[in-house]
Amino acid sequence: MNYEEAKKKFIHSWGVLGSSWGINKTMAQIHALLMVNPKPVTADEIIEELGISRGNVSMNLKALMEWGIVYKDYVTGDRKDYFYSEKDTWKLIIQVAKERKRRELEPAIRMLEEIQGAELNLNIGAEKEFKKVTKDLHKYAKQSDSFVEKFTAMGSNWFFSQAIKLFR
């Protein structure tokens, strides 16, 4: 397999993986292309490389920048925008964890805290079960939140050395 074939396979596979992680395939493919490119690329280059529409590229670049894993740059004398991805894998993992926490975990915790105040008749089976399940979900969501906080604050060497100790 030559470089171009390997690059295409990586971009395609990253797109498939992205779908299973909850982001759209095109967004993941654009991210993959930016990760493996040694220099920033323009939207036109992304369009040409991936064969997707300008609108699709624009929308997905905006989303990737909102995730904090793709950045825009400018070249003096050139009116085009250039885009590049975070190359440090640990920083990428940390940023995705922080963003998923912000987008998914924190709203779930707020919702669970809000419904904890519901007036329930614990003599009624359905209401008692509702209270039990939502209380457990809240407990584990808060523990997950605490874990993500600690995970994003530590360095990769420390994290992996601790993880290896757990599995010995």
User: SS3 of 136, please?
Assistant: helix
Q: Cα-flanking dihedrals φ and ψ of residue 42, to 5°?
A: -90, 165
Within 10 angstroms of residue 14's Cβ, the number of other Cβ atoms is: 19
How far apart are alpha carbons 167 and 92 in whole angstroms?
Answer: 25
What's residue 156's pLDDT? 67
Order of strands, edge to edge, in the sheet holding 70-74?
41-42, 81-85, 70-74
What's residue 163's pLDDT? 67
CATH topology of domain 3-85: Arc Repressor Mutant, subunit A (1.10.10)
Give me the tens of pLDDT residue by residue for the chain, a chain 168 residues long: 999 999 999 999 999 988 877 789 999 999 999 999 999 999 999 999 999 999 999 999 999 999 999 999 988 888 999 999 999 988 988 998 899 999 999 999 999 999 888 887 777 888 888 988 999 999 999 999 998 888 888 876 766 666 677 777
HSE value, Cβ hemisphere, 13 Å, CA-based, for 74: 4
